[in-house]
Chain A
Amino acid sequence: KAGVTQTPRYLIKTRGQQVTLSCSPISGHRSVSWYQQTPGQGLQFLFEYFSETQRNKGNFPGRFSGRQFSNSRSEMNVSTLELGDSALYLCASSQWTGLSYEQYFGPGTRLTVT
């Protein structure tokens, strides 16, 4: 099976702009989660979508939003970019194993805000 794919891999934006990142989960996975990774804050949960509905949400401002399509592909959007939004944005798709959800991460999108 192909892994989680994320596009684009690298992105440079200017403060105040908005950006949309895309994630394609592993085939058959219906849950997609997004995380932000920075050197200072580490890996932080943004939100999770299942069957096109947001099921979990982290502690990020409303500028961060997402959605999921009927084919489980997901996008996240950040509006009014700030310098502090520079980070690696990771998408993970999940499958239930009977014990818990195993999450598999994509390679991430490196966003730089200037």
Chain B
Amino acid sequence: QQQVKQSPQSLIVQKGGISIINCAYENTAFDYFPWYQQFPGKGPALLIAIRPDVSEKKEGRFTISFNKSAKQFSLHIMDSQPGDSATYFCAASLFGNEKLTFGTGTRLTIIP
């Protein structure tokens, strides 16, 4: 199976709070897990990515947590800001393969 399941579909978080988006995959051969951020009228922008040899990766306010045994990974946005309001997509691919399988997306809204 090549699916990547993403939840929640939409999320509202107060400014300064932590936004958490979860993804689960089925294909254990997946070896690369990026997260993308998309604003209306724009293409997806690469935020942060992880390989299965590490359980966590942090870049600024964005952190990926990876649980290989559960086949799950999640994006945490710390100190969420109104400018973070966008749609977020998780994705997965096989090693050395450009074909990305995307999750269904999470529309994040940060309220003041």
Contacts and interface: CB of A to CB of B under 8 A. Distances in A.
A21 interface: no
Interface string B89-106: 101010111111111110
B102 A48 contact: no
Contacts of B49: 99-100, 102
Given A33-B99, A43-B102, A100 B43 contact: no
Contacts, number: 67
B41 interface: yes
- The winner among A99, A101, A102, A106 for most chain B CB atoms within 10 A is A101
Interface residues of A, number: 25
A45 B43 contact: no
A58 interface: yes
A105 B100 contact: no
B111 interface: no
Interface in A1-29: 4
Interface residues of B, number: 26
A103 B43 contact: no
B9 to A, nearest CB: 11
B96 A4 contact: no
B49 to A, nearest CB: 7
A49 to B, nearest CB: 10
Contact of A107 (B42, B46, B51, B104): B42
Given A33-B98, A42-B89, A100-B51, 20 more contacts: A31-B98, A42-B104, A43-B91, A43-B100, A44-B102, A56-B97, A58-B99, A90-B43, A90-B44, A92-B43, A99-B51, A100-B31, A100-B95, A100-B96, A101-B97, A104-B45, A105-B36, A107-B41, A107-B42, A108-B43
Interface of A: 4, 31, 33, 35, 42-45, 48, 55-56, 58, 90, 92, 94, 99-108
